[in-house]
Structure 1
Amino acid sequence: MRHGPLPLLLLLLAVPLQTWAQTEVQVWHGYRAAERAGLEKVVEAYNAAKASTGVKVTLRAIPSDAFTDKISTVVPRGLGPDVFIFPQDRLGGWVESGNMLEPLDFFLDDATRKRSIPTTMEAMTYHGSVYGLPLNFKVITLIYNKKLVAKPPRTTGELLATCKKLPARPEGSTCLVYPYTDFYYHAALMNAFGGRVFDPGPTPRLDAPENVKAMELLLRWVDKDRILPPEPSTVLTTSLFNAGQAAMVFSGPWFLGEISPAIDYGLAPLPTVDEAGGKPMRPWMTVEGAAVAAPSKHKEAAFDFVKYLTGPEGAKIMALVGRQNPAFEPIYQDPEIAKDATLAAFRTQAESAIPMPNVAEMTMVWSPMTSAMNAITRKASTPKAALQEAQKAVQKDVASLRRKK
């Protein structure tokens, strides 16, 4: 008996559609521990919800110290993921280099644009276009030992008064400790004075008078008021706080995992600065976003996952499991999130935070400012002279960058 085309057609129709239209969206990240567990749970939930569509998300973890170099190398060649999670300080450079980040404006409706904390969306925007949806943010805040500090200081005046009231402790103890020669940490004080890295343009402005004033106050805290140790470091910050030899720390969520279980600690907003007219310390906000790779062949499916990850479903999992502060603003009204004191403290601090510059020129600032901070704190230069030297170095590098363009 001869078989015609009908049985073959019936056989094809009997095969589930997704086997013929399977779309794999590959996501790269540099997460470990709780953050990785949170992301894996989001992907599991997303894949379950999309099981009938033929879309499946797969994850690839890249060691965090190699992540940005790997992404920079493989994505422009079309050999990387469809989606990757990245910090905003790379945004400008990657946009300028080309074929890295897909602009998302075409995909965005008004509700999606407005659902994130405004400063986090600002961090994902470059020259008016959105290149990633904000996933989470990090800021430094005040962390204090409750045994030594009954009431966290609200102003720098109260900070000094609190330090003077501390009981006598072992030699080497200090009132406050943080890596103050690290420009990232110092920026909170600089921004309180109205200081800045760039004027519009962006034009480097490291030698602004406000920046000098912030440096002068820092030196006073070290030399005259003696509330800071003379030789700061991240290792010293952790060891002093865990030994009960430091009453307060300026740091972020990454520090919490380093605190000894023996320390009963609390979190509070950074103090306002009397010397800057009562303005708040304004730490830099660092934001991680989820981006669609420009060479991706599955842009619509990739964006759908990015929207899910950064929306209500993903935000709740990344908060409770991943221990991140989501950029998705409405999640802080969720009862489970609202009762989390740690997430609430960093959300409060975010109100006075400033997104760290995401322009390509920002990468040229770190080395000159590290040299300036060290020269100032070691008394090898005055604040004004050291910042002028940093300004010259950054101006030269920026001019060279623009000639190459």
Structure 2
Amino acid sequence: MKMRQVVSAVIVFVLVTAIAACGNGNNNEPSQTTNTPSANQGNETVPEQPDDTAVNTEPELEKDAKLIVWDNGGSDETWAKAVAEEFTKKYNIPVEVQVVSQGDAPTKLQTDGPAGLGADVFLAPHDKIGGLVAAGLILENFYAEEYKSEFMEAAITGTSMNGVLYGYPTAIDTYALFYNKDLVKQVPTTMDELIEQAKAFTDKSKEKYGFMMQVNDFFFLYGFLGGYDGYVFGDKNTNKDDIGLNNEGAVKAGEFMQKLHKEVLPLKSGDINFSLKESLFINNNLMFDINGPWAVAGLQEAKVNFGVAPLPKLDNGKAPTSFSGVRAYYVNSYTKYPEAAAAYAKFATSEEMLMKKFEISGQLPPRISLMENEVIKSNEIIKGFLDQAAVSVPMPNISEMTPVWEAMGNAFAVIWDDNADPKTVLDKAVNQIKEAISLQNQ
């Protein structure tokens, strides 16, 4: 997919995989601070971390290095093999690409890493990092300061643990606003504008709706909660003892959802699902939908005239901070070739290689500079997602996030369906979360 005019036609086939792999956060692992294997875990020597003062120097790679890389199949494999070929040309280091899905790689490394059988570099979703760090399976990013200045904040936060950067981000994914161009004359920049347009179009008796989203799924709801200064955990989602899901901002988000229910979306939360939204959109009976890249393929196949834009600003002037998922390469702490492995991860996430990844798969590159690339900027669908990704918040990657999903989804369903007092409902949900975390950590 190297021609500009066909980028949008193929973007979703891998974007679907990217978001679906991150899902709605059910793959979180325990979070600890250790990142070095103990002596009884294996016979490999864990290398010391390099001095950050040398981040811009060419590393001294191990002379006998040969690398194994784990990545997904499909277009990810195609890209990984292209990267491996270019890396070998430059450094004369052989690289073998093996297909191990990003979801399976962390589990497989639990046994293969200490045994010296694991990949030197592997792909994983960011919400797996807690378990990887706890088990001492990954090394810190060798070029942390450089990455912090050149990659989106969400990509850095998502692949860090306890303030330490481990990942080499390869892609970022989030949701945004889909709009039907045959129905929308002016793309709204504020939620008030969206509501005004949606109210004029909505007619439940004719099954016509101005706006839809999945209102009992916290993955989507968080954008509004974060935009009103609510949050899951304090200290950038690392402090389990500081829960902001029932603060003033979270309550405002609940009140805003009730406004949407009353004015533009008169359906029960359980009646709104992906299939309904897609059908309405395809048949020109839905103006606006909050959805992710996985929705693009169906709309394109149905030849719907649509666009994607960042989520409109709230009445406080702030943008909704959607949840995002980050995919990244990590260096196995048991690798015999830490310098070569780190150099490979850096090479793979260079501007040139991430642009190649976009051209092959359509995945959103988390490098700040690539947001200004003309090929990317000229693609309306990609640009919409990237603009939203720039203000997104990575899903928390600590294990204490696990009970949040169900508790908050249920809470917002009650707030929506029963018009219940948001503060009361959210207080109850937070108490449930605290109890679950306490039991989890016993």
Structure 2 length normalisation: TM-score? 0.76
Deviation of 1:167 after TM superposition, in Å, equals 7.9
Query: Is 1:273–2:311 an aligned residue pair?
Result: no
SS at match of 1:395: helix
- Counterpart for residue 81 of structure 1: 119
- Counterpart for residue 379 of structure 2: 340
Query: Is 1:159–2:198 an aligned residue pair?
Result: no
Query: Following the alignment from structure 1 to structure 2, what is the Cα–Cα distance between the partners of residues 77 and 213?
Result: 52
Query: Following the alignment from structure 2 to structure 1, what is the Cα–Cα distance between the partners of residues 244 and 106?
Result: 27
Gaps of 5+ in 2: 1-62
> CA 1:173/1:66 → structure 2, altered by over 3 Å: closer, same or farther?
farther
Deviation of 1:324 after TM superposition, in Å, equals 1.1
Offset from partner CA, 1:151-172 (integer Å, 9 cap, x none)? 1111121112111333869732
State whether residues 37 and 322 of structure 1, in contact with CA within 8 Å, keep that contact through their aligned partners in structure 2: no
Offset from partner CA, 1:190-244 (integer Å, 9 cap, x none)? 111111112343323322232122122212212x113364322222222222222
Query: Is 1:227–2:265 an aligned residue pair?
Result: yes
SS at match of 1:357: coil
Match for residue 243 of structure 1 among 272, 283, 292: 283
Gaps of 5+ in 1: 1-20
Amino acid at match of 1:141: A
State whether residues 101 and 291 of structure 1, in contact with CA within 8 Å, keep that contact through their aligned partners in structure 2: yes
Query: Is 1:213–2:252 an aligned residue pair?
Result: yes
- Counterpart for residue 67 of structure 2: 25
State whether residues 36 and 322 of structure 1, in contact with CA within 8 Å, keep that contact through their aligned partners in structure 2: no
Give aligned pairs, total: 374
SS at match of 1:196: coil
Query: Following the alignment from structure 2 to structure 1, what is the Cα–Cα distance between the partners of residues 192 and 140?
Result: 46
Match for residue 94 of structure 1 among 132, 151, 158: 132
Amino acid at match of 1:29: D
Query: Following the alignment from structure 2 to structure 1, what is the Cα–Cα distance between the partners of residues 245 and 231?
Result: 7
Deviation of 1:145 after TM superposition, in Å, equals 0.6
State whether residues 81 and 97 of structure 2, in contact with CA within 8 Å, keep that contact through their aligned partners in structure 1: no
State whether residues 71 and 122 of structure 2, in contact with CA within 8 Å, keep that contact through their aligned partners in structure 1: yes
Amino acid at match of 1:347: L
State whether residues 71 and 97 of structure 2, in contact with CA within 8 Å, keep that contact through their aligned partners in structure 1: no
State whether residues 77 and 97 of structure 2, in contact with CA within 8 Å, keep that contact through their aligned partners in structure 1: no
Q: Percent same amino acid at aligned positions? A: 24
The more displaced of 317-326 and 357-366 is 357-366
Query: Following the alignment from structure 2 to structure 1, what is the Cα–Cα distance between the partners of residues 295 and 76?
Result: 15
Deviation of 1:387 after TM superposition, in Å, equals 2.1
Query: Following the alignment from structure 1 to structure 2, what is the Cα–Cα distance between the partners of residues 41 and 169?
Result: 51
1:184-333 correspondence runs (5 A): 184-200=219-235, 201-203=239-241, 204-222=243-261, 224-227=262-265, 229-230=267-268, 231-259=271-299, 260-274=301-315, 277-333=316-372
Query: Following the alignment from structure 1 to structure 2, what is the Cα–Cα distance between the partners of residues 384 and 264?
Result: 40
State whether residues 120 and 335 of structure 2, in contact with CA within 8 Å, keep that contact through their aligned partners in structure 1: yes
Query: Following the alignment from structure 1 to structure 2, what is the Cα–Cα distance between the partners of residues 178 and 236?
Result: 10
Query: Is 1:45–2:86 an aligned residue pair?
Result: yes
Offset from partner CA, 1:259-302 (integer Å, 9 cap, x none)? 1442011122211112xx22221212221111112222222222
- Counterpart for residue 103 of structure 1: 140
Structure 1 length normalisation: TM-score? 0.83
- Counterpart for residue 397 of structure 1: 436
Deviation of 1:339 after TM superposition, in Å, equals 2.6
> CA 1:180/1:319 → structure 2, altered by over 3 Å: closer, same or farther?
same
> CA 1:365/1:316 → structure 2, altered by over 3 Å: closer, same or farther?
same
State whether residues 170 and 245 of structure 1, in contact with CA within 8 Å, keep that contact through their aligned partners in structure 2: no
Query: Following the alignment from structure 2 to structure 1, what is the Cα–Cα distance between the partners of residues 144 and 313?
Result: 38
- Counterpart for residue 123 of structure 1: 158
